[in-house]
Amino acid sequence: MKKLLSILASIGLLTHSISIVSSCGKENDQSQETNTVPSDVNKIEKIEDQTMYEAKTKIVVVRSQVIIKDAEISAISENEGALSVSVSNAIDSESKGFFEVTLKAKTIVDTNVKVKYGDFESSFNVKVLGAKHDEPSTNELLDSNVQLNSSTPEQVIFANPVKDANYEVIVVDKDLVSIENAISKDSSGNGEVTFRINGLKLGKTKILINYEYSQVSLYVTVVEKYGFPFLSDYEKKVTIIKSTEDNQNTITKYITVNNPISNGELELSTNVTESLLPFKVEKVVEDLKFVIFKINITSGYKKEQDVVVNLKYMNKINETLLVDIIDEHTIKLDVEQTLPIEVSEGRHKLIKLDVTDRFKNAKINVVNENASTGNIDAFAMNDYDTDTNEALTIVVYGLKVSKENVIEYSYNGIKFEIKINIIVDSTKKPSISGIKYNDVIKLNTNSGTYYGIYIDNPLTNEIISVSYDNENLKGKFSASVEGHNGASYYNLLLVSGKDEVNDDAKIKVTLKYKNADDLSFFVTISSKKA
C-alpha cells in the first residue's frame, strides 16, 4: 500500500480506492477507556518493522494509548498471497486496548500490513526471508508460573544460535507481568535467552521471545501464593536411544522446585535398573524462591517402554517421569523413491522419509553439503517432530543442472545421506493466469488496484514482466509487478490518472514470462463510478 501511495504521489495523483485495516492496544495505567477520542492523542503506539522466515508464523502485539469499548479490530496484508494475517479478536469487548496480529509467511516478500482499532489506523513493514535449514529454533515451551509480587527466572535455549543476535522478550498483557532483561544480545553465541518474570496481577498471559528472526511463545500464570514446594511444569515423558558397549547415551533435563526447603535435595529412583544406569543429579541454581536441578539420565542396554522414574523432594513432592528406551533410529526413503533423487532444474520436489521409533518433539535437521555451489537448496518442513503421525518431508529445489549433490538429514542425532541429481526439465512449460486473455479492466480515474497473477511451473531464475505504451501514457496510467525470481505468485498494480481513456483508445497491457505464452488484456479509465 505504501508503494501505491508513493507511485500516485510521484505522478501527482490522488487515490480513492485503497482498503486499509488497523488495530490498537493498551500501554499502561495511563491508558483510558472512552468512546470519544481527543484529536491530539497519538492513538496507536509505533509498531516496529518485522523480519521473519518463509513458512513460519510470527505474532506482533499492537497497543493503543486510548481504549475504546467494543472497538472493531482488523488487519490486512498488502500481499495476501505471500503473507496472510489474522487478529486475536475482532472486537475489543473486554476493553483491553491491545491485540495480537498473527503473520503467516507463505513465500519471500517485502510487504506492508495495515491494522485498525476502531477508527485508529497504523501500519508496519514485513520482510520475509527465504527458509534456511539452520534457522534458530527451539522446542515447544512448557507453561510457567510466577508468584504474585515475586519473580522467577526463565531460560530459553535456541538451537542453531547466531553470535551477537539481538533478542527481545515481549509481554502481551503488561498488567499481569513485567520482564527484567527483556532486550539484549547473544554475545556468546550459545543461543541462551535468560530473563526474569515479575508477577504483578493474578491471571494468565502470553510472552513472545524474538531471537534473530525467529519467535517462540510461552504462557505464564501469576498465582497468589506457592505454599508448599512444587515443581514447575516439566516434560512428563522423554525418549532415549539404548546404550551399547561402545556408546552410552545420556540425555539432560532440568527440574525446577519452587518454594524450596533449605538444603533440600531431589532424589531419583527406578525399579528397572537394567534399563537405566545410575542417575546423576546436580543443583545448578539455588535461590530463596526456587532451585533448579540438572539431571542426567543414561540408558541401559535393553529396549523398554514407559520406565517409571520417581522424583522425590524432601517428602514434600512425589512425582514421576516416564522414559522410553528405543533402538537406534533407522532412516530410509519412502517406498516410492530411490537414490539418487532426480529434481528438475527450476523446480522443487518433496522427499518423504521413513524413520523408526519416532517420538514427539525429536530434533530434525537438514544440512545442504553443496550449499556453496548454488546447485540445490533444501530444508525440512519442520524443525521438530511435533506430530508423529505426519510424514517427514524435505523440500529440495533444483537450481542448476548437476550430479551427486548431497544433503544430510538427521533425526534425533541419527544421520542419513541423500544424493540428488538436478536434471534438465523437458516436460511442462510455464503459463500465466489471474486475468483472462483480452479481458477489459475498467478503472476509475485517480485510483489504483491490485491483481494476483499466478505462474504455473515457475522457473527458478525467472521473473514476470509487464509492458504497455509507457511513453505516451506518462501521468495517465502505470502498471508494475511485485515479486521475486522463481515465485509462483505476483502482485500486478494498475494505477490510473485524472484523464479518461475510452473503449476506442483502450490501453493494451502485456504480461511476459520466459517460455510462457504472453497474456494481454486491455484497460479503460472512466470518471464514472461503477
Cell 558397549: give the residue: 245
Joined together, the cell numbers standing for residue 183 give 532486550
Q: Identify the residue whose cell numbers are 503467516.
A: 104
Pick the CATH number of 230-328 from 1.25.40, 2.60.40, 2.30.30, 3.90.580: 2.60.40
Residue 8 predicted with pLDDT over 60: no
Q: What is the mean pLDDT of residues 500-516?
A: 89
Give the model's confidence band at 23: pLDDT under 50 very low, under 70 low, under 90 confident, else very high: very low
CA distance 255 to 288: 16
Over residues 282-303, mean pLDDT? 89
- 212 vs 287, higher pLDDT: 212
Cα(240)–Cα(224) distance, rounded to whole angstroms? Answer: 37
CATH value of 50-129 in 2.60.40.1080, 3.30.1490.20, 3.40.50.1980, 3.30.450.20: 2.60.40.1080
How far is Cα 62 from Cα 24, in angstroms, rounded to an integer?
5
Query: For 237-267, what is each residue's pLDDT tens digit?
Result: 899 998 887 788 899 999 999 888 878 899 9
Domains of the chain, by residue range, sit at 50-129, 142-223, 230-328, 331-423, 431-526
Is a pLDDT exceeding 80 seen at residue 443? yes
What is the CATH architecture assignment of 331-423? Sandwich (2.60)
Residue type, 227: G
Q: Which residues pair with 364 in a beta bridge?
A: 411
Q: What percent of the chain has pLDDT over 90?
A: 46
Helix, strand, coil fractions of the chain, as percent rounded to 5: 5, 50, 45
**What is the model's pLDDT at position 413?**
86
* DSSP type of residue 501: B
Residue 5, pLDDT above cutoff 60: no
> Which residues, other chains included, contact 290 with Cβ-Cβ below 8 Å and sequence gap of 6+?
152, 153, 232, 256, 257, 258, 259, 260
Q: Which three cell numbers stand for residue 256?
A: 525446577
Per-residue pLDDT at 36 = 52
Fold of the domain spanning 431-526 = Immunoglobulin-like (2.60.40)
Alpha-carbon distances, residue 201 vs 45, 197, 219, 258, 357 (angstroms): 23, 12, 15, 19, 44
pLDDT tens-digit readout, 337-363: 788 898 888 888 889 899 998 888 889
Smallest CA-to-CA distance from 122 within 4, 22, 19, 18 is with: 22
pLDDT attached to residue 7: 35
Cβ-proximal residues to 64 (8 Å cutoff; 6+ apart), any chain:
24, 25, 26, 27, 31, 43, 44, 45, 97, 98, 117, 120
CB atoms closer than 10 angstroms to residue 484: 14
Nearest to 293 by CA among 324, 272, 314, 275: 314
Nearest in space to 84 (alpha carbons), one of 120, 128, 147? 128
Query: How much is the pLDDT for 495?
Result: 92
- Give the pLDDT confidence score for residue 226 in this predicted structure: 60
pLDDT band at 31 (very low <50, low <70, confident <90, very high): very low
Q: pLDDT per residue over 477-507, tens digit each?
A: 999 999 998 888 899 999 998 888 887 789 9
The terminus-to-terminus CA distance of the chain in angstroms comes to 22
Q: Helix (H, G, I), strand (E, B), or coil: what is residue 259?
A: coil
> What pLDDT sits at residue 21?
30
Among the residue ranges 101-105, 474-478, 510-514, the one predicted with the least confidence is 474-478
* Cell numbers that stand for 239 in this block: 525418549
β-sheet bridge partners, residue 501: 525
Residue 529: pLDDT band with limits 50, 70, 90: low
Domains 50-129 and 431-526 equal at CATH topology level: yes
Main-chain dihedrals φ then ψ at residue 4, nearest 5 degrees: -60, -45
- Within 13 A of 288's CA, how many CA atoms are on the CB side? 3
Q: Which of 23-32, 165-174, 389-398, 491-500 is least confident?
A: 23-32
pLDDT digits (tens, 9 = 90+) for 187-230: 999 999 999 999 999 999 999 999 999 999 998 988 876 667 88
Contacts of 397 (CB under 8 A, 6+ apart): 343, 347, 348, 376, 377, 378, 460
Q: What own/partner pairs with CB < 8 Å and gap ≥ 24 does 11-16 have?
A: 11/474, 11/475, 11/478, 11/495, 11/497, 12/475, 13/446, 13/495, 13/496, 13/497, 13/498, 14/446, 15/446, 15/447, 15/448, 15/495, 16/444, 16/446, 16/447
Residue with cell 486491455: 522
Residue 490, beta-bridge partner list:
453
Q: Which residues pair with 366 in a beta bridge?
A: 409
**In degrees, to the nearest 5, what angle opens at C-alpha 447 toward C-alphas 441 and 452?**
50
The type of residue at 8 is L
52 pairs with which residues across the strands?
Answer: 128
The C-alpha cell 510521484 sits at 10
Is the model's pLDDT at 164 over the cut of 50? yes
**Neighbouring residues of 154: CB distance < 8 A, sequence distance ≥ 6:** 144, 194, 195, 196, 197, 218
Which one is predicted more confidently, 38 or 121? 121
Please give the distance of CA 48 from its chain centroid, rounded to a whole number: 17
Instruction: Determine the average pLDDT of the residues in 264-292.
Output: 87
Q: Which CATH superfamily is domain 142-223 in?
A: Immunoglobulins (2.60.40.10)
- For the chain, the farthest-separated pair of C-alpha atoms sits apart, in whole angstroms, at 92
Task: For the chain, give the mean pLDDT.
Answer: 85
Please report the pLDDT score of residue 426 as a whole number.
63
Give tens-digit pLDDT for 53-111.
998 999 999 999 999 999 999 999 999 889 999 999 999 999 999 999 999 998 899 99
Q: How many CB atoms lie within 10 A of CB 415?
A: 12
Element (H, E) at 6: helix 2-10
Tens-digit pLDDT profile for residues 316-327: 899 999 999 998
Mean pLDDT of 372-384: 88
CA separation for the pair 409, 419 (Å, rounded): 11
Q: Cα separation of 40 and 38, whole Å?
A: 6
E strand spans, 290-347: 290-298, 304-313, 317-326, 331-333, 341-344
**How far is 103 from 61, CA to CA, in rounded Å?**
11
State yes or no: pLDDT of 128 exceeds 90.
Answer: yes
pLDDT score at 42:
56
Provide, rounded to the nearest whole percent, the portion of the chain with pLDDT above 70: 90
**What is the model's pLDDT at position 500?**
86
